[in-house]
Amino acid sequence: MINPVPKAELHLHIEGTLEPELALSLAARNGLALPYASADELRAAYEFADLRSFLNLYYRLMEVLRTEDDFADLADAYLERAAAQGVRHAEIFFDPQAHTGRGVPLEAVLGGLGRALTGAAGRHGVTTRLILCFLRDEPVSSALATFEAARPWFGTLITGVGLDSAEVGHPPAAFRAVYDLARDAGLHLVAHAGEEGPPEYVTEALDVLGVQRIDHGIRSMEDPALVARLVREQVPLTVCPLSNVRLRCVERLADHPLPAMLEAGLLVTVNSDDPSYFGGYAGDNFDAVRRELGLGEAELRRLAANSFRASFLPQEDKDAYL
């Protein structure tokens, strides 16, 4: 990747950047046994039938993340790799319930992430935002408790909330109360919708949760009226091409709806989701869509410009990139 185009990464789960080598070294550091003898053996387990089968390994492996240093090392390693792929700004998701639920204090998670993110502009030339995601397959009461516990970091480290984990059977509307609180707290609002779930979940995320961006949203393409609305309102969709193939939302990259989404006039961006598990970081996703979908220079530049337009950067910072 020579001279990767400058871009913003808007759909990135920090836990999904845990590379096999780091997982094994953190396991050793924390005195934990993993059922994989080597990084290659671990990488060979990265074969997924759907979102659920991925999430099983994703939650399993993050058990090696225990201390503040673990979270700082994880995020710092991501930021270094992202910078090398042209990422200048990263809006990063984290899943607090996946850590507090196994006894890791929120202070360790946010202390470590905060340390890495605070130093990122100076160390890696990457500006950052942090978005707290609620697990939609956990009860709303757990989301509400997590939200309240995270209040001390609102506006400083945490600037938005999102919704992730197993989508089908967990429609967005259930989380209305916690999104209302997040709006009142001045946080940005996003949600995963239309990855495996139906287009109705996208509509619900917009109308009931009031989100400003949709994460994934590829199944919106099944509903022409929804596409027309997303175009009219220029709702950003943070699309993750390699993820969609690895989780079998799309059979082959050549079948991905990204060109049709661009053609329709949607404000689409290209992102990496869980790069350690899905075969590549932001620049790798750009390379893959150029190669497999035949996108030209103009379309790649448009995707890069969209990534800054769709970001939560202040307008003057966006203007510097556009």
Footprint of Zn ion (CB under 5 A): 273
Spatial distance between the Cα atoms of 99 and 103, rounded to a whole number of angstroms: 7
**Cβ proximity of 65 and 16 under 8 Å:** no
**Cβ proximity of 294 and 258 under 8 Å:** no
Nearer to ligand HPA, 70 or 273 (CB): 273
Nearer to ligand HPA, 68 or 274 (CB): 274
Note whether 165 binds ligand HPA by CB under 6 A: yes
CB of residue 247 to ligand HPA, shortest distance in Å: 7
Spatial distance between the Cα atoms of 320 and 95, rounded to a whole number of angstroms: 31
**Cβ proximity of 310 and 270 under 8 Å:** no
Residue 81 binds: one of ligand HPA, Zn ion, none (C-beta under 5 to 8 A by kind): none
Backbone phi and psi for residue 214, each to the nearest 5 degrees, phi listed first:
-110, 130
Note whether 164 binds ligand HPA by CB under 6 A: yes
**Cβ proximity of 289 and 270 under 8 Å:** yes
274 in a known ligand binding site: yes
> Binders of ligand HPA among 23-52, rule CB under 6 A?
51
Spatial distance between the Cα atoms of 265 and 231, rounded to a whole number of angstroms: 6
CB of residue 58 to ligand HPA, shortest distance in Å: 6
Nearer to Zn ion, 10 or 267 (CB): 10
Nearer to Zn ion, 68 or 275 (CB): 275
**Cβ proximity of 267 and 236 under 8 Å:** yes
Spatial distance between the Cα atoms of 308 and 246, rounded to a whole number of angstroms: 26
CB of residue 274 to ligand HPA, shortest distance in Å: 5
Q: Which residues pair with 160 in a beta bridge?
A: 131, 188
| 195 has catalytic annotation | yes
99 in a known ligand binding site: no
Backbone phi and psi for residue 131, each to the nearest 5 degrees, phi listed first:
-120, 120
**Cβ proximity of 190 and 131 under 8 Å:** yes
Residue 16 binds: one of ligand HPA, Zn ion, none (C-beta under 5 to 8 A by kind): ligand HPA
> Binders of ligand HPA among 271-300, rule CB under 6 A?
273-274
Annotated catalytic residue: which of 19, 68, 195, 196? 195
DSSP string, 107-128: HHHHHHHHHHHHTHHHHHS-EE
Note whether 97 binds ligand HPA by CB under 6 A: no
Note whether 129 binds ligand HPA by CB under 6 A: no
In the set 9, 10, 12, 13, which binds ligand HPA (CB under 6 A)?
A: 13
- C-alpha 107 chain-centroid distance: 21
**Cβ proximity of 165 and 97 under 8 Å:** no
Nearer to Zn ion, 24 or 158 (CB): 158
Residue 9 binds: one of Zn ion, ligand HPA, none (C-beta under 5 to 8 A by kind): none
* Catalytic sites, residue numbers: 195
Instruction: Point out which residues bind ligand HPA (CB under 6 A).
Output: 13, 16, 51, 58, 164-165, 192, 195, 243, 273-274
List the binding residues.
Answer: 11, 13, 192, 273-274
List the binding residues for substrate.
Answer: 274
